[in-house]
Structure 1
Amino acid sequence: MAAAVVSLALGLLYATGATALDNGVGKLPALGFNTWNLYQCDYTADVLIEQAQAMVDHGLVKAGYNNFMLDDCYSLKERDSKGKIVADPKKFPKGMKQFTTALNKLGFRAGIYSDAGYRTCGGFPGSYGHEATDLETFADWGFQYLKYDNCYIPFDNVTQENVYGRYARMSDAIAARAKKTKSTPFQLALCEWGWQQPWVWGGRLGQSWRIGGDIRPWWSALSSIINQASFIATETRFFARNDLDMLEVGNTNIGTPPGNLTFDEAKSHFTAWALLKSPLLIGSDMESASKETIQILENNDILKINQDPNVGEAVAPFRWGYNPDYTWDPAHPAEYWTGNSSYGVVFMVLNTQDTPQRMSFNLTESWAIRAGRVYSVYDMWSHTNNGTAYRSISLNLPPHGVAALLLNDAGPEPAGREPYCAGYWQCSFPNGTYYSN
């Protein structure tokens, strides 16, 4: 026992600092569908396959949404005599393997849900103390992706591990099984809700980590999540990323007030999630999805930034805008964001106010822009080339609206034009005289 405690203590000492878990899976954010927000516990295999078929029919699988995540409530309340989780025969009368096979035929990789505690958040068997057994069950059923929650936590004097140690149990079990069976490891998504800063340690155990509580389909909830992401956007990289929770761009049936985002809010929601390199798991009904919803979800210009094979980092704020920089305000998160990509320099401008706004920025506020250059401007929502930008860009945005721009170097600035500097920061003539514009 003493050796085990020492080993765990050493593991926790090395848990500081975010290092991506490059185990061959989860290099890029997962795209797909998650059952929870739409169905919670009220579903059957047939209902879920109908939803999967709607994803195919709308072209979403072809667009890259090829993960189908089965969330909570799929099992009986108790394990069998051998300690194994048992699929609910009323929900899955033909068995779980038949369900995942049907998903595979539609082009999906199947994902499932469990919990690091005694029970799942819905009160079904959790995986604490059963990590290896449950992994074998999930693999036998045909799953390859595991969302791992944080309910019904054992007493501290039982685990003596804290949250990192409880998640490490499953991460270690995944690695051990992959080595033993010479198979691809499960992809692990941590659902820790952000209480103990998983953006610091989560990348050592899984490929994504939730940064807060469950999403709700109205603007105040979305802006609150973006606010939190404003401070930790730089923690995203290949194989490790902040998970902003599910996409709610379509119709939904949970919660009050009514969960109908405006079209501009839905665009902002999708843009922020995608450019912040969050997993994009749809949580709304695709069978009744509008053309506008599909238009948003299939925006290839935005998706290709999320799925960039060469740049793993997300956009990050360069200016808060409505508030002074680094202000914590769930109603008004950072408004001006930038990052690099394989396709050009990315800018996201977000109007967090309830009224239309004229919004402006200097190009050189972005670290990725070269000073003294002209840039071509591509609008990732209108899908149009909008000429060139010289020094600054101004935009008119609707309430809670967004702009997503892609800039590429188009050559040096025209000679002889003043001001010589885009900003005043210690810009100097050769003789040492400061130039102030």
Structure 2
Amino acid sequence: MEKASSFLLSFVLQLLYFLVACIATNISTDQSALLAFKARVTLNSSHPLSQNWSSQASVCDWFGVTCGSRHHRVTALNVSDMDIHGSIPPQLGNLSCLVSVDVSRNYLHGDLPQDLSRLRGLKVMNLGYNNFSGEIPTWLGFFSDLQMLNLDNNKFTGIPPASISNLSKLETLSVIRNRLQGSIPKEIGNLQSLKELTLLENNLTGSIPFSIFNISKVQLTHNQLSGSLPVDICRRCLQKIKSISIISNQLSGHIPAGLSNCTELYELRLSYNKFNGTIPPEIVNLERLEFLSLGGNNLQGKIPAKIGNLRNLQQLQLENNQIVGSIPRTISNLSLLWILNFNTNNLTGVIPREIGNLHKLESLYLQFNNFGGVIPSSISNLSNLKGLYLHVNKLCGPIPNSLGDLRQLEYLNLANNNLTGNSQPKYFCLIIQASLASSMEVLDY
């Protein structure tokens, strides 16, 4: 009860701060702030801001500026993708009624001035695709109304500040391709409104806090995160996670069977880590799964026999593991599949003719395995196929003439097999353009 009262008091004080600050200043303050921004950046004479941002016109008529209908104060600034070079002046913190700011896709640089901490009414802050540097400021935690924070493609350093956990209304936090280091603050998992956490391509280390799996979409690809995934990753309140992407890290241990309890999951990407053990058969219970990527690990055992239960799959990628056995014939149920990648494993048996039922398939990667038998003629039913890779196997028999019916085919590699036909080259790699697919010719290199 005391905690709830404290939170309510803090919320009321923040609201009063915003209202008082907004009323205490006027449109002239806004004009001065924006002119200070214009003076700080480099613009050519034909630039929209050079011509349009003038004291001769009302601020509310300036390009990229939106004013509120009630108080006629600047509430939004959007100058994204406008080839602006320079830095942000402290005066921008005087836009006391500002709700949304978007300066993304420019060439702005330097630290974020402390004065921006006065923008307590911000709901949207997009600084992505610039050259901002320094640590992510702790004062971002003052923005109690903030719903979206985008810092993508900058040069921010340090550890994500734990003060971000104060942003109780934050729905999207994205810090892609920066220079963040250290561990992910466990406090981020306390953000009850957070739906998307994207920290791709940084230098984050340590284990992943269990609490962040309470977020609907978790994207942590290309970091140095280690440890294992919790066995009870999808227990009770965490069952609504929809997307997990943690490619190219240092995670180890087994892929937890408990993932099968994440019934809302549509994306599971754990490729290029150090997972071992088998693919948990329970994974076939994730009926909403559209993307399954487990390649580049140390997985063993067989492909789950009931893989065909995943009828919504669009991508199935298990490459570069040590998977054995044959391809389950239930694969034919994956009618929405457009990428099937089993390359570089220890798969045996024949290529099932049921693969010909995957009519949306665009890329089929089965190279570097131990498949035997003939190339099934049913592959010619894959009218959308652009890439067919069957090289380095033990395939025998003739090359089906029907492969010439694949009018979309651009890449075909059948090298290092035991195939026969009019031409019997020891090694060949045929790359054809779609316009030549109907008159396919085997080239002897």
TM-score by length of 2: 0.29
Q: Which has the larger radius of gyration?
A: 2
Which structure has more relative contact order (CA 8 Å, sep 6+)? It is 1
Larger strand percent: 2
